[in-house]
Chain A
Amino acid sequence: DSGVTQTPKHLITATGQRVTLRCSPRSGDLSVYWYQQSLDQGLQFLIQYYNGEERAKGNILERFSAQQFPDLHSELNLSSLELGDSALYFCASSVGYGLAGGTDTQYFGPGTRLTVL
């Protein structure tokens, strides 16, 4: 158990809908990262937050948005969903301000599997 929790574990929804994925980082970790993993695209970095502020941006679509709250949990909002958004969405956390690849050790959650029908 990495200490990073993600909810829900599975989500099935329809095209055009909007969903919110939630991530709670390990206690004491200030950085939260979001990744998307699909068979087509592989693993992609979406966005990183550090202590509530956006730290680095990756391949995040305009239909997607994220935020990190004062209690450090983070939410990833996906709207106008398309079939191609079906993927495993991972959240990770780390203590410091490191680069998104992992300048300080990252701990990954178990992921949320999103299926868009």
Chain B
Amino acid sequence: SQELEQSPQSLIVQEGKNLTINCTSSKTLYGLYWYKQKYGEGLIFLMMLQKGGEEKSHEKITAKLDEKKQQSSLHITASQPSHAGIYLCGADYFDSGGSNYKLTFGKGTLLTVNP
């Protein structure tokens, strides 16, 4: 099964509406990252969350990491067509010994914003 699950897989909203994308890990992560990608183009790094309960903002995009460091939500307020694209979450993991680093990504959420 997928280590990092994103939901929903796709989302269509009307311009001006708020929306939330979720990223759930099957185990405690070290760091959680959000990226945006226009279809077939390069990625844009949005933000990193590392502390349980941490919340960060990037323009009208806010992301929060839960206290247990197993789930993050990305919230867009008053969506605009420029917000359209694929949102990906990524997470760092270390094994119990503190070595064996692993970085894994979710499958992405395709966001469409209709004017």
Q: Which A residues are closer than 8 A to B by beta carbons?
A: 2, 4, 42-45, 56, 58, 88, 90, 92, 99-103, 105-111
Q: Does B84 contact A (CB under 8 A)?
A: no
Residues of A within 8 A of B106 (CB): 42
In the complex, the answer to whether B42 meets A108 with C-beta atoms within 8 Å is yes
Chain B neighbourhood of A108, CB < 8 A: 42-45
* Contact indicator per residue, chain B 55-92, by CB within 8 Å of chain A (1) or not (0): 00000000000000000000000000000000010111
Chain B residues whose CB sits within 8 angstroms of the CB of A103 once the complex forms: 31, 48, 50
Contact size class for B? 20 to 34
Q: Please, which residues of chain B bring their CB within 8 A of the CB of A58?
A: 102-103
Collect the chain B residues with CB atoms within 8 Å of residue A88's CB.
Answer: 40
CB-nearest residue of chain B to A43:
B105
Contacts of A44 in B (CB 8 A): 105
- In Å, the complex CA distance between A92 and B48 comes to 16
